[in-house]
Amino acid sequence: MIEISGLTKRTKKKEILRDINIKMDGIYGLIGPNGAGKTTLMKIISGLTSMSSGRISINGEDYTKGKYLKQNKHTAYLPQDFMIYPKVTVNEALDHIALLKGILDKNVREQKVYNSLKEVNLLEHKGKKMSQLSGGLRKRVGIAQLLLDEPSILLFDEPTAGLDIEERIRFRNLLKHLGDNHVIVISSHIIEDIEFLATRIGILKEGKLLFEGTPEKLKQAAEQKIWTAQIPLEELSKFILDQDVISLTEEGKNVNVRVYSSTSINSSSYEIATPRLLDGYLSVIREHKI
């Protein structure tokens, strides 16, 4: 578990994070608009950048040292963009990284590389050069090199960004599998990923934590605010201009629309809808003033 208390990050020009208090365990989804402070928070937790104030404990032990998190083998961080040694094979790249990590015994190193490749289902690709891999496979190599240290907490910044639909599904399944034996923290703006993976969710906006809780609790934030209606297809363009449409589905000559409204809609054409995770997210973002 990661426990963050009173974490604040300031620069000369702005306050990037404001008094953040979170307990992260299970698979934790950190979501919010661009510029909300998600990546900064991930880098602070991984010890890559400083905080202005606050404390961070890992598995019950305070690892704060001044303005930085002390180096430790509990946490491992994978940034959004990952590419190493494009002209060498996957196996060679991981062997070199293991050597840099101080794993000097060749037999031990080979076993750790093998175990890491097996965990992320990359053994059949170990002889390929890094430059030959798809974006999803490169991210798997990124996870494999994290696992060399056998960390208990894995941090991922936008892990499925840039992946096609099939790669995203495979990568989400891998993260779900890793969540059986690790605490996983995922920073993402892709709500579908968070809905599939997260057991708890935090929402950041302009550096402030607006929400923290379970996916079910987040859905409840949009109760009585989502409405559905069926309209003729030819009326859709005008309807979108007049209403806050958040999703639509064509059905023959009609369109089923989902409309967001924080006030009741007095019309027999609309029915109240069961909220989804995206609805809860929109409700929190739109209705919390910073």
Q: What is the pLDDT of residues 141-179, one digit of tens each?
A: 989 999 998 899 999 998 888 788 888 888 899 999 999
Looking at 6-15, 56-65, 124-133, 160-169, which range is the least confident one?
160-169
User: Residue 202 in contact with residue 211, Cβ under 8 Å?
Assistant: yes
Share of residues in the chain with pLDDT > 70 (%): 99
| 0.85 surpassed by pTM | yes
Residue 24's closest CA among 152, 193, 206, 190? 152
Q: pLDDT band at residue 29, thresholds of 50, 70 and 90?
A: very high
DSSP bridge pairs for 56: 4
Q: What is the pLDDT of residue 289?
A: 65
Helical packing angle, 165-178 and 135-147, nearest 10°: 20
Residues in the chain: 290
Confidence of residue 107 (pLDDT cuts 50, 70, 90): very high
- Mean of pLDDT values over 94-100: 92
pLDDT in tens, 192-235: 889 999 999 999 999 999 999 999 999 999 999 999 999 999 89
**Number of helices and strands in the chain (H, E):** 9, 16
Between 266 and 219, where is the model more confident? 219
pLDDT of residue 56: 95
| Amino acid (one-letter) located at 284 | V
Q: Rounded to whole angstroms, how far apart are CA atoms 7 and 121?
A: 37
Instruction: Reply yes or no on whether the pLDDT at 44 is more than 90.
Output: yes
pLDDT digits (tens, 9 = 90+) for 182-192: 999 999 888 88
Ordered by where they begin, the domains of the chain are 2-214 (3.40.50.300), 224-274 (no CATH)
pLDDT category at 290 given cuts 50, 70, 90 is: low
Structure tokens at 247: 């999703």
* H/E stretch holding 246: strand 245-251
The 3-state DSSP class for residue 150 equals coil
